Amino acid sequence: MIIYNVTVNIEDSVHEQWLEWIKTEHIPQVLGTGKFEKATLSQVLVEEELGGKTYSIQYRSYSREALDTYYREDADRLRQEGLKKFADKMLAFRTELQIVDEYNVKFT
């Protein structure tokens, strides 16, 4: 499984508007492409030199092929929507993470 991670720094002046948009529009649209099984929205708990607030959105893809298809068919269109709404008020970068193993606490 591959995690498609998007890290976004958003200016305080549009923070609340962006947070509402990411939760109610953008994440549902990305999941609606059918290429991901779930998404997790997390706030990064560090004070940024840039100011603003930073978030990580982790989308769990079904497969490498599903992620590649997302890049070909959907990514540009969905990125443009965010740029139109928030332009120079946000900075985003993307990384891919390969899950190597997962562990859970076992209670006896």
Mean pLDDT throughout 38-57? Answer: 92
Reported as a single tens digit per residue, the pLDDT across 68-78 is 999 999 999 99
pTM, entire model: 0.90
pLDDT of residue 108 exceeding 80: no
pLDDT at 64: 95
pLDDT at 40: 98
* Vertex 78: Cα angle to 28 and 70 (nearest 5): 85
| Fold exhibited by the domain 2-98 | Alpha-Beta Plaits (3.30.70)
Residues 6-45: b if buried by 16+ CB within 10 A, e if exposed: bbbbbbeebeeebeebbeeebbeebeebebbeebeeeeee
pLDDT of residue 25 exceeding 80: yes
